[in-house]
C-alpha cells in the first residue's frame, strides 16, 4: 500500500509531460473496463443458466446509475483502445518517439470525435426510454435504485470468495516455492514476460475491431434498453424468426446466439473470440497494475497474480460454457415470470400479452 | 531581484527535524543568469550552513546534483534562475531513501547499474598491433547516444514504475546496458538481454516517457529502452536500431 500511496501522491505532484497523464488514464480506464468485464461475462452467462437472474440484471442495468456507468464504460474502452495503439506504435517504432506527445493529444481528440456521435446515439436510447411508456413511476424510482445495487451483492460475495482462494493459492505456492524470484539476482531470462508483452500488443490490436463492433451493435445501434423491447436482433436476419409478442432480454440473447449463417453460429464465434482475447488482455493488464504496487512483498505479489489468474479462469470457463451449451426454448418461459416481477417493481401495469402468456402457461 | 527558495529538508540528527519538512529562504540580488546550484551555495554559506546537498564538478558532467526543481528532475548546476522563475521549489529525487535534506542513498540505483554488467566484455586476444579494436563509424553511431549517460539518476527517479517498485532495474541501468548491447565489439550482449528480460527488467517499462525529458544530457532514454525490448523480443541486436529522422 505504501508504494501505491506514494506513487499516486507523487504522480500528482511530479510535473511530468502529457505522457504521464496518458499513462494514468490508460490504467484507470483499463481497470474500469476489466471490472465491468467480470460483471458482464458472469451475468450474460445467466441468460443461459439462470434466465430469471438475467432478466433482473438487465433491469438493474436499465437504472440510472448504470446508465451513467455505461457512458463511462464506452469512454474508457474508446480511450484505452486509441491510447493502446499509441503505445504499440512507439514500442515497435521507438525511433519515432519525438511525436509521442502529439500522438497523446491526437488520442484525446480522436476519442472525443468518436464519442460525440456515439454518445448522441446512446443518449437517444436513454431519452426514448424515459419519455416513452417505459419510464419508471416517480415513487418507485428509489426502489429501482436500491434493487440495482442489491442485485450486485452476489458479485461482492463472489469477489470475496475469489480473493480468499487467491490468498490460499499464494500461501500454498509460497510453501512450495519459498522466497520469491522477484528479489532474486536475475537468475535467468524469463520468456514468460516477453510473451505477455507481445501478447498485450497483438491482442490489443486484434481486440480493437471486435470490441468496436460489439459496442456499436450492443450499445449504440441497440442499447441496453432495446434488449427488453426489440423485436429484431441487430446483426441477424429475419430467417431466424422474430421475437415473440412479449420481448425479454433472455429471448434477445437466445435469438442472437441461435443465429446461424451458413451453418456457423457467427455471434457465438464472435463472442468467443472477444471473450478469450479480452479476458486474457484484461487480467494480464490487471496483473501488471497490481504487481507494480505489490512488489514490496512476495506474498502480496503472489496473491495479486493468483487473484488475476483465478478470476480469468472462472470467467473463461463460465463464458465458454454459456457459449457452448445448446440453447433450450425453456429459458424464455423462465424469463417471463421474472419480467412480470420487474414490471411490478417499476410500478407499471403488466402488459396484457404477458398476462395472457403467464396465465396460459399455468 | 529577490528569489524565494522553498526547500524540502530533513535532518536525522536533530530531534524534531527527522521528518521531512519545508523551509523557505529568500535571496536578494539574484541575477537571471545565476545558476540554481550557486543559489543553493549562497543559502548554505550566507543563511544556513546545515543545508546539505551533493555536488562535485558543478558543470553538468559529474551528475551528482540531481534534484527535483519545480516539480521535475534537473541538475541544479544546469538550471538558470531565468528558467525557474522567482519562486523555486526544490526536493530530493524520488524513489530512494533520503539521508539528509537533498541527499539520497544512491546505493539501490548503483546496485541496478551493476546488475547489467556495465563494462566491455571481449575475451578475444587484442589485435596484432596491440592497439584498439576497430569498428566502423556506422557501428559506433548505434550506441553513441547511450554513451552520454552520467548516472545522475534523473531518469530513473522520474519513472512512476520505479517509484512503485524499487526492484525495477530502471531507465538509467537500461541505457547503460544499451551502450554495450549494441556495441558490435562486445560479446556479452545476450547475457545482458537475459538479465533485462527478467520480470523486473525492461518489461516494467510502461512507455510513459517521463524519463526522456528528465535527462540533462538529452539522451533518448525511452527510445533506448524500446530498442532493448525489441532486441529481446527478436533475439538479436542487428537491425534493431533504425536511423533517426531528421528534425
By percentage, how much of chain A surpasses pLDDT 70? 92
Assess whether B112 and B91 both reside in one domain. Answer: no
Tell me whether residue B240 is in a domain.
Answer: no
> Rounded distance, CA A303 to CA A310, Å?
10
Q: Which positions 89-118 of B are in contact with A (Cβ < 8 Å)?
A: 94, 115
Assess whether B228 and B111 both reside in one domain. Answer: yes
> Rounded distance, CA A157 to CA A49, Å?
19
Q: Are A80 and A29 in contact (CB under 8 A)?
A: yes
Give the pLDDT of residue B247. 47
> Rounded distance, CA A147 to CA A343, Å?
13
Give the pLDDT of residue A183. 44
Q: Are B90 and B68 in contact (CB under 8 A)?
A: yes
Block residue for cell numbers 518489461: B203
Determine, for residues B163 and A91 on separate chains, whether the beta-carbon distance falls below 8 Å.
Answer: no
Tell me whether residue B204 is in a domain.
Answer: yes
Determine, for residues A90 and B167 on separate chains, whether the beta-carbon distance falls below 8 Å.
Answer: no
Residue in chain B lying closest to A193 (CA): B199
Closest Cβ–Cβ partner in A87, A190, A296 for B199: A190
Residue A361 pLDDT > 70, yes or no?
Answer: no
Q: Which set of grid coordinates corresponds to residue B219?
A: 539522451
DSSP per-residue letters across B205-242: -----SHHHH-TT---HHHHHHHHHHHHHHT--TT-SP
**pLDDT digits 0-9 by tens, B49-82:** 999 999 999 999 999 999 999 999 999 999 999 9
Give the pLDDT of residue A158. 87
Residue A146 pLDDT > 70, yes or no?
Answer: yes
**pLDDT-based confidence at residue A258 (cuts at 50, 70, 90):** confident
**List of chain B residues with pLDDT < 70:** 245-247
Closest Cβ–Cβ partner in A22, A94, A188 for B222: A94
Closest Cβ–Cβ partner in B71, B199, B225 for A182: B199
**pLDDT-based confidence at residue A335 (cuts at 50, 70, 90):** confident
Question: Which of A6, A12, A15 best probes binding to B when mutated, by most B CB atoms within 10 angstroms?
Answer: A15
> Rounded distance, CA A198 to CA A107, Å?
22
Assess whether B88 and B119 both reside in one domain. Answer: no
* Domain-terminating residue out of B71, B104, B137: B104
**pLDDT digits 0-9 by tens, B89-112:** 999 999 999 999 999 999 999 999
Residue A185 pLDDT > 50, yes or no?
Answer: no
Block residue for cell numbers 451449451: A325
3 state SS of B80: strand
Beta-bridged to residue B90, according to DSSP, are: B7, B69
Task: List chain A domain ranges.
Answer: 16-182+210-361
Nearest CA-CA partner of A225 in A72, A50, A33, A61: A61
Provide the residue count of chain B. 247
3 state SS of B184: coil
Assess whether B78 and B11 both reside in one domain. Answer: yes
Beta-bridged to residue B35, according to DSSP, are: B80
* Domain-terminating residue out of B37, B71, B104: B104
> Rounded distance, CA A140 to CA A286, Å?
38
Average model confidence (pLDDT) across chain A: 86
Residue A94 pLDDT > 50, yes or no?
Answer: yes
Residue A184 pLDDT > 90, yes or no?
Answer: no
Q: Is B207 on the interface with A (CB under 8 A)?
A: yes
Q: Are A52 and A151 in contact (CB under 8 A)?
A: no
Kindly report the CATH number assigned to the domain that includes residue B150. 1.10.1060.10
Q: Are B1 and B30 in contact (CB under 8 A)?
A: yes
Residue range of the domain that includes B20: 3-104
Question: Which of A95, A102, A198 best probes binding to B when mutated, by most B CB atoms within 10 angstroms?
Answer: A95
Q: Is B223 on the interface with A (CB under 8 A)?
A: yes
Q: Which residues in chain B touch residue A202, judged by CB atoms under 8 angstroms apart?
A: none
Q: Distances in Å between the alpha carbon of B3 and those of A211, A226, A227, B25, B30?
A: 55, 64, 65, 8, 7
Assess whether B121 and B173 both reside in one domain. Answer: yes
> B127 to chain A nearest CA, in Å?
33
Which H or E run includes B90?
strand B87-91
**pLDDT digits 0-9 by tens, A102-141:** 999 999 999 999 999 999 999 988 888 877 755 666 667 7
Closest Cβ–Cβ partner in B70, B164, B199 for A193: B199
Residue A189 pLDDT > 70, yes or no?
Answer: no
Q: Which positions 6-45 of B are in contact with A (Cβ < 8 Å)?
A: none
Q: Are A174 and A305 in contact (CB under 8 A)?
A: no
Assess whether B184 and B112 both reside in one domain. Answer: yes
Neighbour tally for B18: CB within 10 Å: 11
Neighbour tally for B189: CB within 10 Å: 19
Assess whether B70 and B11 both reside in one domain. Answer: yes
Closest Cβ–Cβ partner in A15, A182, A189 for B167: A182
Closest Cβ–Cβ partner in B164, B193, B226 for A94: B226
Determine, for residues B241 and A92 on separate chains, whether the beta-carbon distance falls below 8 Å.
Answer: no
Pairing of strands B72-75, B87-91: unpaired
Asked whether this complex has an ipTM greater than 0.90, the answer is yes
Tell me whether residue B133 is in a domain.
Answer: yes
- The number of distinct structural domains making up chain B is 2
Residue A188 pLDDT > 70, yes or no?
Answer: no
Assess whether B119 and B157 both reside in one domain. Answer: yes
Determine, for residues A19 and B210 on separate chains, whether the beta-carbon distance falls below 8 Å.
Answer: yes
DSSP per-residue letters across B191-207: HHHHHHTSTTTGGG---
| Gyration radius from chain B CA atoms | 20
Amino acid at each position: 500500500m505504501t508504494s501505491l500511496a506514494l506513487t499516486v501522491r507523487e504522480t500528482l505532484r511530479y510535473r511530468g509531460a502529457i505522457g504521464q497523464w496518458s499513462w494514468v488514464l490508460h490504467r484507470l480506464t483499463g481497470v474500469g473496463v476489466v471490472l465491468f468485464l467480470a460483471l458482464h461475462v458472469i451475468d450474460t452467462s445467466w441468460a443461459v443458466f439462470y434466465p430469471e437472474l438475467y432478466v433482473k440484471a438487465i433491469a438493474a442495468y436499465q437504472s440510472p446509475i448504470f446508465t451513467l456507468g455505461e457512458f463511462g464504460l464506452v469512454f474508457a474502452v474508446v480511450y484505452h483502445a486509441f491510447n493502446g495503439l499509441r503505445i504499440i506504435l512507439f514500442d515497435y517504432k521507438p525511433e519515432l518517439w519525438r511525436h509521442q506527445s502529439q500522438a497523446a493529444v491526437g488520442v484525446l481528440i480522436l476519442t472525443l470525435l468518436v464519442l460525440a456521435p456515439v454518445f448522441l446515439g446512446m443518449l437517444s436510447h436513454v431519452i426514448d426510454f424515459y419519455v416513452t411508456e417505459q419510464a419508471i413511476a416517480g415513487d418507485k424510482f428509489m426502489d429501482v435504485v436500491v434493487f440495482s445495487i442489491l442485485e450486485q451483492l452476489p458479485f461482492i460475495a463472489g469477489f470475496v470468495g475469489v480473493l480468499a482462494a487467491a490468498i490460499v493459492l499464494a500461501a500454498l505456492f509460497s510453501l512450495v516455492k519459498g522466497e520469491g524470484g522477484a528479489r532474486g539476482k536475475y537468475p535467468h531470462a524469463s520468456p514468460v514476460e516477453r510473451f505477455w508483452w507481445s501478447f498485450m500488443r497483438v491482442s490489443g490490436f486484434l481486440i480493437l475491431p471486435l470490441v468496436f463492433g460489439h459496442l456499436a451493435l450492443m450499445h449504440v445501434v441497440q442499447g441496453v434498453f432495446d434488449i427488453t423491447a426489440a423485436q429484431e436482433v441487430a446483426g441477424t436476419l429475419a430467417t431466424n424468426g422474430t421475437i415473440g409478442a412479449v420481448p425479454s432480454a433472455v429471448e434477445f440473447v437466445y435469438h442472437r446466439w441461435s443465429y446461424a449463417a451458413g451453418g456457423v453460429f457467427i455471434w457465438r464465434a464472435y463472442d468467443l473470440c472477444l471473450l478469450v482475447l479480452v479476458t486474457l488482455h484484461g487480467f494480464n493488464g490487471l496483473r501488471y497494475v497490481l504487481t507494480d504496487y505489490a512488489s514490496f512483498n512476495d506474498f502480496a505479489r503472489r496473491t495479486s497474480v493468483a487473484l488475476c489468474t483465478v478470476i480469468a479462469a472462472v470467467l473463461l470457463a463460465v463464458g465458454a460454457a454459456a457459449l457452448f451449451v445448446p440453447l433450450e426454448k425453456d429459458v424464455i418461459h423462465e424469463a417471463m415470470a421474472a419480467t412480470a416481477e420487474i414490471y411490478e417493481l417499476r410500478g407499471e401495469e403488466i402488459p396484457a400479452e404477458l398476462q395472457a402468456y403467464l396465465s396460459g402457461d399455468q | 531581484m529577490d528569489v524565494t527558495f522553498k526547500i524540502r529538508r530533513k535532518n536525522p540528527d536533530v530531534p524534531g527535524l527527522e521528518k521531512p519538512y519545508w523551509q523557505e529562504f529568500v535571496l536578494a540580488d539574484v541575477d537571471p543568469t545565476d545558476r540554481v546550484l550557486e543559489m543553493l551555495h549562497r543559502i548554505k554559506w550566507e543563511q544556513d550552513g546545515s543545508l546539505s546537498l551533493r555536488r562535485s564538478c558543478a558543470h553538468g558532467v559529474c551528475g551528482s546534483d540531481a534534484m527535483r526543481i519545480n516539480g521535475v528532475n534537473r541538475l541544479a548546476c544546469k538550471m538558470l534562475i531565468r528558467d525557474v522563475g522567482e519562486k523555486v521549489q526544490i526536493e530530493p529525487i524520488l524513489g530512494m531513501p533520503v539521508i539528509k535534506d537533498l541527499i539520497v542513498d544512491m546505493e539501490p540505483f548503483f546496485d541496478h547499474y551493476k546488475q547489467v554488467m556495465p563494462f566491455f566484455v571481449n575475451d578475444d586476444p587484442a589485435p596484432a598491433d596491440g592497439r584498439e579494436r576497430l569498428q566502423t563509424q556506422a557501428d559506433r553511431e548505434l550506441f553513441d547516444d547511450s554513451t552520454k549517460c552520467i548516472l545522475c539518476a534523473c531518469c530513473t527517479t522520474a519513472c512512476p514504475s520505479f517509484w512503485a517498485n524499487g526492484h525495477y532495474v530502471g531507465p538509467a541501468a537500461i541505457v547503460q546496458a544499451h551502450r554495450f548491447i549494441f556495441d558490435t565489439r562486445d560479446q556479452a550482449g545476450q547475457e545482458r538481454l537475459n538479465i533485462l528480460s527478467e520480470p523486473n527488467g525492461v518489461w516494467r517499462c510502461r512507455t510513459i516517457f517521463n524519463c526522456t525529458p528528465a535527462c540533462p544530457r538529452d539522451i533518448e532514454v525511452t527510445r533506448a529502452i524500446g530498442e532493448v525490448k525489441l532486441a529481446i523480443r527478436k533475439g538479436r541486436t542487428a537491425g534493431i536500431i533504425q536511423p533517426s529522422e531528421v528534425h
